[in-house]
Amino acid sequence: MARRPKHDHYDVIVIGSGMGGLGTAAYLAQAGYKVLVVERHYRAGGYTHSFRRHQYTFDAGVRIVAGAEHGLLSDLLEAAGLTGKLPFIRLDEVYAAWYPEHQFTVPRQVQGLVQTYTDLFPEQEPNIKALVAEMEAVYEAMIEMIHARDPFQVLSNPMIMKYRSLTFHEMLHSFLTDEQAIYTFAALCGYYGTSPKTGSAMFFAYAIMSYFKSEIYYCKGGFQQMANAFVERIESLGGEVCLSNEVQQIVVEDKQVKGVRLQTGEYVTAPLVVCNGDMLKMIHNLVGEEHFPSRYIKKISKLAVAFSAFEVFIGTDLPLEEMGLAHETFLYTDYNYEKLYDNHHNLKELGAEGVCMLAISIPSLVDPSLAPEGKKTIALTTFAPYDIGEPWADAKPKFEQALIKLAEKVIPGLSEHLDFVESGTPLTMERFTNNSFGSIYGWNQNMEQMISRPQHETPIKGLHVAGHWTDPGGGVVSVLLSGYKLSQKILTKEQSS
Ligand SMILES: Cc1cc2nc3c(=O)[nH]c(=O)nc-3n(C[C@H](O)[C@H](O)[C@H](O)COP(=O)(O)OP(=O)(O)OC[C@H]3O[C@@H](n4cnc5c(N)ncnc54)[C@H](O)[C@@H]3O)c2cc1C
């Protein structure tokens, strides 16, 4: 793929090829826009990037997506002209969870969710059924809001009215009366980077139910395939995707965007620039904060950035397919999600010994093509702060050991069967994706920030944002939705002008 653009003027320039950027580019290219995407990495995709080591293929970030065949993602793929173009594999189990005294696997569909928790807590059966029915109602209301022409009209929906200022913890407490049932019901909290105590009921209920209502999927060959499919689509529509090139400046004159300056020296102009990369760096490094109103800078400066992560990528010869393991297992050494999250916010003080939650992903169980014959790939992931109180180069081996040791609760003998090991720290995340502090979801997805995320428009005319630093939030489907919504706004504005 080319490094330099072919032209010096485009209808729209997209900075970054995360799924939010590729989505925006594909939707606008379909509408006839002349599109340029500029990506600093040598491969497109941002966190959907997959990499190969010693015949193993690993996903740098994404583990699963919801709704690939029937649901929001399938609608978004259809809108990009990509229906049927991606080899998704539906997963039969949504997740497994390991708590000190409870180990269980949750099969697909709402029935699987209800059955698992009523088997675990039979005396809570009516409460669990009522909670799940309520979460389904919240999910339907959120879907209505996503599809609404005017989302403000849906704000009067009784479910939205009821839950818009409640945390998921409050929602759980209003249905369940057993502490362990409450904590274990939120086992998926290990995905979202925020505890149910601080996370919105609407966000958790929607995200959890989307996995059961619209199923979850792995992308055969790794999630890089998804990014590649979007790149091919953009190019087939006449767009360009330049890799290994960086936007070093967004040029603004008279409060209006004019174009971008590239690492390779070109100045490329466009009336529309969409930044899919880090928003803090966009404001402070690419544009310059003097171009923004002070109230905008003040508002942004109040927002907290999401957690980063520490990951261990493993190739093993253990026969994992014989061990009854799920695609994704959440391991918690305590039930109390607030305590688990507090520990991880304090890892700077606690060190590697403080790691108390872990996600163990084994994509090679459903996709053997990721590993050589007789071998398997595993990714261990935990939330980690950017600042660990010592150089990450020194902390890295300690964290790698701690994660492998913890994973041995679920996969006995793992440390004796390491055919390949490589770890990534928050600095790795930042280096490869340019996300400030190695953030894996843009802004923290706590309750206050879910409703106060910066909009796609900025105070600078023609400069927009798509991806996990804007509405609606982190995750592949959300960032694609941000690209779709932004493209619709741009097209509507053009039609009305
Ligand atoms: C470990 C981990 C696990 C995850 N698991 C899941 C999961 O299972 N399911 C899920 O849906 N989501 C998951 N996520 C979250 C999800 O991957 C992200 O929220 C989403 O992919 C972010 O997409 P984005 O479009 O915002 O951009 P990003 O993926 O952040 O990409 C931004 C791109 O912009 C480029 N860029 C930045 N600045 C410039 C510049 N100046 N010039 C040129 N290029 C630039 C970067 O190089 C990068 O490629 C996970 C993330 C991580 C890290």
pLDDT reported for residue 167: 97
Write the pLDDT tens digit of every residue in 415-454: 999 999 999 999 999 999 999 999 999 999 999 998 889 9
Q: Which CATH architecture has domain 12-62+223-303+445-496?
A: 3-Layer(bba) Sandwich (3.50)
Q: Is the CB of 277 under 6 A from ligand 1?
A: yes
Please tell me the distance between residue 435's alpha carbon and the centre of ligand 1 in angstroms.
Answer: 8
Q: How far apart are the CA of 250 and the centre of ligand 1, in A?
A: 20
pLDDT band at 148 (very low <50, low <70, confident <90, very high): confident
* Residues in a beta bridge with 420: 315
Q: How confident is the model at residue 147 (pLDDT cuts 50, 70, 90)?
A: confident
**262 ligand 1 Cβ < 6 A:** no
Protein residue with its CA nearest to atom 18 in ligand 1: 475
At residue 209, the pLDDT reads 98
Would the CB of 23 count as within 6 Å of ligand 1? no
486 Cβ inside 6 Å of ligand 1: no
- For residue range 370-408, list pLDDT tens digits in order: 999 999 999 999 999 999 999 999 999 999 999 999 999
Q: How far apart are the C-alpha atoms of 224 and 44, rounded to whole Å? A: 8
The answer to whether 171 and 248 have CB atoms below 8 angstroms apart is no
Write down the pLDDT at residue 219: 98
Residue 332 host element (H or E): strand 328-332
Please provide the average confidence, as pLDDT, over all residues in the chain.
96
User: What's at 402, amino acid-wise?
Assistant: A
Phi, psi of 298 (to 5 degrees): -65, -45
The answer to whether 466 and 486 are in contact (CB under 8 A) is: yes
- Ligand 1 centroid to Cα of residue 469, in Å, is 10
Strand arrangement, sheet containing 357-361 = 103-107, 93-98, 328-332, 357-361, 376-384, 308-316, 418-424
Question: What pLDDT was estimated at residue 87?
Answer: 97
User: What local confidence, expressed as pLDDT, does residue 435 receive?
Assistant: 98
- C-beta 473 within 6 A of ligand 1: no
Task: Please report where in the chains the tokens 């209800």 appear, as a residue.
Answer: 114
Residue 1's pLDDT is 77
Please give the CATH topology (third level) of the domain spanning 110-184+192-217. Answer: Guanine Nucleotide Dissociation Inhibitor; domain 1 (1.10.405)
Say if residue 238's pLDDT is above 80. Answer: yes
State the average pLDDT over residues 272-285.
98
| The pLDDT value given to residue 450 | 83
pLDDT attached to residue 389 = 97
Mean pLDDT of 288-298: 97
pLDDT at 253: 97
E-strand spans in 214-290? Answer: 216-219, 240-242, 247-253, 256-262, 267-269, 272-275
